[in-house]
Structure 1
Amino acid sequence: MNVDELVRDAFREQAADHMPAPPYFAERVLAVRRRRRTRRLASVAVATAAAVAVGVAVPLLGGGGDDVRPASEINQSDIIGHPDQSPPKGMIAAGDTVLAAFYVYKNVKQPNGDSVTTRVYGLLDQNTGTYRKTKWAFLDVAPGTRTAAVLEGELPAKRIGLLDMITGKVDRWIPMDRGVGGVSFSPDGKKLVATTYSKNPDRNFADHKQNVNGKEVPGPVQSRTGFAVVDVASGKSDWHKASDKPDEMGWFGNSREDFDWSHDGTLVYANRAMKPYREYYGLDGAEAKWPADEKYLTYVEAGLSPDGKLAAGDFAGDGKEIAAAIDDPKTGKRVAKVPGQQLLAWADNKRLIAWGCDPKKCSGKGEFRNQLLLVTIGTDKVVPLSDFRKASDDYPGRWTPLFSSR
């Protein structure tokens, strides 16, 4: 599929979700604007299953917390899929990676003419092995999928909650000196990077119009102030100033520019829509150079493999096939292709979870009729993990997955 077709389908997808397309949307069709949630796994499962395990809702004994084992630990099947569910109801996992949560966007009009793009989350309940709708405005899941960092709406929030994914309750609140609009756990789960904003990065303002398809609609306002590195155990944090940086064309409307972690957890970075695409900072707040093994990373969410030897690449189809590239992270050269459209997370060093379209079921119905697939480097084998992506009564929009380690 060529770029023109991708852009055309992306506009159709945007319209289907009732969200106005931002300016210069075409340049960002292939860019993943939300932060990467794929956890960099310290250890990997290498066994390959021949079949998908179906039905993972496992009642657990006890009252939650330390008294019970999480569902993702009880069901240790290498592949856990629900190819008949979308959005999923039962837990999905492959290798050492689990679908920890998913969300859809909902555009909520405000009395003053503003609009807020809110997230509706389905979060893994580790007590039942199912996904439950939550009230949080923003969340991220720690490696191990036992704890979620949650923010209350309306953003920016004044505190960060640490939610037990077995009990579904917040164990502790971490107060923050500045308003927080996004959070991300470090690869070892010991720290959070909290992106701070002076305004809600998901609010479009009636007094700051933007032109979308010839129509004046409420527009976003740039308001990032910096980031705080938070020690999860103590709750102590250090804040560093890092406001949004206009590119050579001038800032054009991406009001959410959250920070995430480098592969080894020594730096934080924020994605940018234009070159140089990423801005890196040390944990002391000083600007930093790109790490050598991340020099050729793109916006593809899966990023580096757990061992750091491979990088998930861009769409590499030629119009006759659906494929995504696997690259050498130090040279940027393609070393393989896999039968997926968008690479989302590494299951281990040889397998990835991707959005894809099984040719036997897609029948040319469009690039955006896709489902979660498990793909393996060096083979054309695909294992469906979910049904084709669609909305439901509880989740009124196309869902976006968030992954963590089991």
Structure 2
Amino acid sequence: MNVDDLLRDTLREQAAEQPPAGPGFADWVLAVRRRRRTRRLVTVVAAAVAVAAVAVGVPLLDSGKSDVRPSGVVGRDRTSAHPDQSPPRELIAAGSTALAAYYIPTTVKKSATEKVTERTYWLFDRKSGTYVKAPKWSFVAVAPGMKTAAVLERTLPASRIGLLDLATGEVKRWMPVGHKVGGLSFSADGRKLVATTYTYNPDANFQPADPNVGEPEKPSSRTGFYVFDVASGKSTWGGVAVGGQRADGLNTLINNRQDFAFTSDDRYVWAGVPSEEVNKLFYDFTGAEVPAPQNGDKYLVSYIVAGLSPDGKHVAGDFAGEAWTTSSYVIDSATGEKTEIHGQELLAWADDKSLIAWDIGKGDSGAGKSEFHARLVLVTIGSDKEVPLSGFLGGSTDVSAGRWKPVFAQR
């Protein structure tokens, strides 16, 4: 085989791959060629792979015109796992979903009675293929496609929202707000953004200077929400009462941070209510309460972030049995029937049947330690198989010790 033949074969092999080459692919090709040919030919193969990557990757990016999503995640549905990394350094992804960012919460003492949980984010960088620290931002929400993130500056609540270009790391537009913002969430199509408004930092926690006195009462400072059209920057604001005893007898007191998110059809917003009487409420974009939609949204669990499957047929549910066991359940959105599935906490749908979840290792079950020694895994409805995606969290129960929290987005 001469150099021309080798180059032709390499281009054909590369073009046969539907998605662009992922991290480590070039190294794999080099290893195979090294076993076949001399060192001189390996150099040629490396050059051929580089040419092929450009030849295959550029049309994909050009076809999206302004689409500058990371080239390593555009059109990809393969699993990218790094079970030896925690926090992850390289891309973690499965199906249509990728770990777009993660953050580490740290507790900071502000006074004798106030502590604030502050987040430090790491965002996936397409140039390096790694997660890069982004200390400017106190809150980050990544839009579907991993092209844009909505960000808030360090001091919460914030007086403006930034739209961050994830390809360049630059804020391409600032959107000032009249009501200060503490939380952000994109719609499923990425065209709208809901921003939860607060008058005080929603991550502040208060405790008495004298522990014998009891915990001081401080109601949530949430005031409502904005709904933004991302393209134009235009917004509407809906005021929502903090909560309390309602005329219908329901108690709707809320946590200090109780952010809004869109329903699955992006027509309404909803938020959890941590009470036995009612666990969530729905609102139109003016802030008026509406009945629960008659689809899978009615089964949403406020603290289970995965929500509805892409096809809308299942909803991620709570723990199956005792908290921090090794299984959860998914709910049939048409019938309400529950099906047990592996995973302590269901985080994001990878496809219609599989989810990314936290789960513990073998022998780690039992109260008191399992939730603090978990890793990201891929689980599937009707299967006992788990695919490890990340390394294990550290074992500390102290939030200030730096346990990382994932932020997922459609890729």
Write out aligned runs for 1:272-283 (5 A): 272-274=273-275, 275-283=277-285
Pick closer, same or farther for the CA change 1:254–1:266 going to 2, 3 Å: same
Pick closer, same or farther for the CA change 1:210–1:269 going to 2, 3 Å: farther
Q: Is the 8 A contact 1:240 1:284 kept in 2?
A: yes
Pick closer, same or farther for the CA change 1:216–1:298 going to 2, 3 Å: same
1:292 match: 294
Shift of 1:204: 3.3
Residues 147-194 of structure 1 show CA distances to partners (whole Å, capped at 9, x for unaligned) of: 110001211111000001111111110111111111111111111111
Shift of 1:95: 0.2
Write out aligned runs for 1:374-389 (5 A): 374-389=378-393
Shift of 1:234: 1.3
SS at match of 1:76: coil
Q: Is the 8 A contact 1:103 1:399 kept in 2?
A: yes
Unaligned ranges ≥5, structure 2: 1-21, 28-49, 55-60
Residues 198-239 of structure 1 show CA distances to partners (whole Å, capped at 9, x for unaligned) of: 111122357xx4987x57567754211111111111111111
Tell me if 1:162 matches 2:160. no
Q: CA RMSD in A?
A: 3.4
Distance 1:150 1:320 in 2: 32
Residues 279-322 of structure 1 show CA distances to partners (whole Å, capped at 9, x for unaligned) of: 11112332111111222222322111111111112211579972
Distance 2:257 2:143 in 1: 21
Write out aligned runs for 1:68-147 (5 A): 70-73=70-73, 76=76, 78-110=78-110, 114-135=114-135, 136-147=137-148
Higher mean C-alpha deviation, range 93-102 or range 107-116: 107-116
Shift of 1:246: 2.0
Q: Is the 8 A contact 2:242 2:253 kept in 1?
A: no
Q: Is the 8 A contact 1:315 1:323 kept in 2?
A: yes
Q: Is the 8 A contact 1:296 1:330 kept in 2?
A: no
SS at match of 1:79: coil
Write out aligned runs for 1:126-275 (5 A): 126-135=126-135, 136-205=137-206, 209=208, 214=212, 220-246=218-244, 254-274=255-275, 275=277
Shift of 1:384: 0.1
Of 397, 404, 407, 1:402 maps to 407
Write out aligned runs for 1:331-350 (5 A): 331-334=335-338, 336-350=339-353
TM-score scaled by length of structure 2: 0.75
Q: Is the 8 A contact 1:292 1:330 kept in 2?
A: no
Compare CA radii of gyration and give the structure with the larger one: 2
SS at match of 1:292: coil
Q: Is the 8 A contact 1:118 1:202 kept in 2?
A: yes
Q: Is the 8 A contact 2:112 2:209 kept in 1?
A: no
Structure in which a larger fraction of residues adopt helix: 2
SS at match of 1:158: strand
Pick closer, same or farther for the CA change 1:280–1:68 going to 2, 3 Å: closer
Shift of 1:404: 0.6
Q: Is the 8 A contact 1:297 1:313 kept in 2?
A: yes
Distance 2:273 2:200 in 1: 19
Tell me if 1:352 matches 2:350. no
Pick closer, same or farther for the CA change 1:204–1:319 going to 2, 3 Å: closer
Distance 1:154 1:57 in 2: 43
Residues 103-135 of structure 1 show CA distances to partners (whole Å, capped at 9, x for unaligned) of: 222111125753221111122123322111222
SS at match of 2:73: helix
Distance 2:192 2:390 in 1: 32
Q: Is the 8 A contact 1:115 1:218 kept in 2?
A: no
- For residue 405 of structure 2, what is the amino acid of its counterpart? T
SS at match of 1:174: strand
Higher mean C-alpha deviation, range 361-370 or range 153-162: 361-370
Distance 1:320 1:261 in 2: 28
Distance 1:265 1:312 in 2: 18
Pick closer, same or farther for the CA change 1:267–1:105 going to 2, 3 Å: same
Pick closer, same or farther for the CA change 1:57–1:68 going to 2, 3 Å: farther
Q: How many percent of aligned residue pairs carry the same amino acid?
A: 47
- For residue 403 of structure 1, what is the amino acid of its counterpart? F
Comparing both chains, which one has the higher relative contact order based on Cα–Cα distances under 8 Å and sequence gaps of 6 or more? Answer: 1
1:371 match: 375
Shift of 1:90: 0.6
Distance 2:217 2:155 in 1: 17
Pick closer, same or farther for the CA change 1:320–1:222 going to 2, 3 Å: closer
Q: Is the 8 A contact 1:57 1:90 kept in 2?
A: no
